[in-house]
Amino acid sequence: MLTRKQHELLIFIDRHLKATGFSPSFEEMKDALQLRSKSGIHRLISGLEERGFLRRHHHRARALEVVRMPEDVASRAASGGGEGATGFAPTVIRGDFTARLPGVRAAREAGAVQLPLYGRIAAGLPIEALRDNGAQVEVPIALLGSGEHFALEVAGDSMTDAGILDGDTVVIHRGETAENGQIVVAMVDESEVTLKRLRRRGNSIALEPANRAYETRILPADRVKVQGRLVALLRRY
């Protein structure tokens, strides 16, 4: 049996998913249930997971899946009574993608956004010079987290062993930091831009390809500037 708050939260999440195509944020859930802190939402979600009503996809941004609904709600839905009989009618907040992702305008209500599409990586050009003005690509919101993102067309085969092929479109989270081992867009000597795996080695940075035909480049850290890190990949067949 669910507590009243668990029951309310599960219905809110289910309605939000059906209305927007993606799960609500913890802030939205906190406001809907009129709780004072997000920690209460964490406890409620954990309880719903333990009871088999919710499933969390930990490697996807804001991804919750309703596995099943309480028997009373399911039986009312089957008889045409709907969910309103619970007496809980939260306001479903449709995602304001423009506010959550600076520089990105909202796309269809299916849960996608339009990201600026930059050109193919080319030596001798800073990342801003690669931008094809007006070009955009639609990306599912579930692939993105908070912050600013852009898309980039891949040129060459230096990352094929990482599953990144010539002509693919990679989605990049813009930023100047990255963890060891992450695939990043790096600018070398304020001019050359490349997509490689980053490794820190003391005061040096190694830019590793994912293809044995290419050599790893080891450079002083002050010659390398991270422009963003890879978060998703798109491919057309």
What pTM value is reported for the model? 0.53
- Confidence bin at 91 (pLDDT 50/70/90): very low
pLDDT of residue 203 exceeding 80, the answer is: yes
For residues 129 and 235, the model is more confident at 235
- Fold classification of 98-234 is Umud Fragment, subunit A (2.10.109)
For residue 196, indicate whether it is catalytic: yes
| Active-site hit among 23, 25, 30, 196 | 196
Average pLDDT over residues 144-162: 86
Fold category of 4-94 in CATH: Arc Repressor Mutant, subunit A (1.10.10)
User: Contact at 8 Å (CB) between 179 and 173?
Assistant: no
Q: How far apart are CA 201 and CA 76, in angstroms?
A: 61
Q: How confident is the model at residue 88 (pLDDT cuts 50, 70, 90)?
A: very low
- Residue 110 clears pLDDT 60, i.e. is over it: no
Which is catalytic among the residues 23, 30, 158, 225? 158
Is 37 catalytic? The answer is no
**What is the H or E stretch that residue 131 is in?**
strand 131-140
Section 69-87 average pLDDT: 55
| CA distances from residue 195 to 23, 137, 208 in whole angstroms, order as listed | 31, 19, 9
User: What ranges do the domains of the chain cover?
Assistant: 4-94, 98-234
List pLDDT tens digits, range 6-63.
Answer: 888 999 888 888 877 778 888 888 888 888 888 888 889 888 988 889 888 765 555 7
